[in-house]
Amino acid sequence: MSKLLQKPRRSAYIAVTFRILQENSHYVSICPELETSSCGDTIDEALKNIRDATLLYLNTIEEQGERERIFKERGIKLYPVTPRPKKIGIKAKFDEVVSPSILPISA
């Protein structure tokens, strides 16, 4: 089937948390919901790197057909539209940066 005749892939969204901690002169970043991690020399670099690592992980589990199982096991909800920000309480330690994030994925 030509690309022009293929159905476009729908988009969905997930909400995750990125946590960044300083370790010596570097920053370690993690996404606890998906157990991805990365690092950077600055907070901004660590945040960009964890976002990239998490998106790469999401693409990989989609290609392997494991996304539905992993999302179910970890309680990750798919949203059909971009979720509106709510007042959310995220507990952070005094030495960490916490960033809630909405990520687009194929539905």
Give yes or no for residue 87 having a pLDDT over 80. Answer: no
Beta strand segments in the chain, E: 11-23, 26-31, 36-40, 96-106
Using alpha carbons, list the distances in angstroms from residue 53 to 13, 43, 59, 96: 17, 15, 10, 19
What does the alpha-carbon distance between residue 50 and residue 19 come to, in Å, rounded to a whole number? 9
pLDDT of residue 85: 62
pLDDT of residue 8: 44
SS3 53: helix
- Angle in degrees, 0-180, between the axes of helices 43-63 and 67-74, rounded to the nearest 10: 120
pLDDT of residue 34: 97
% of residues, the chain, pLDDT over 70: 80
Mean pLDDT of 68-95: 80
Predicted TM-score (pTM) of the model is 0.80
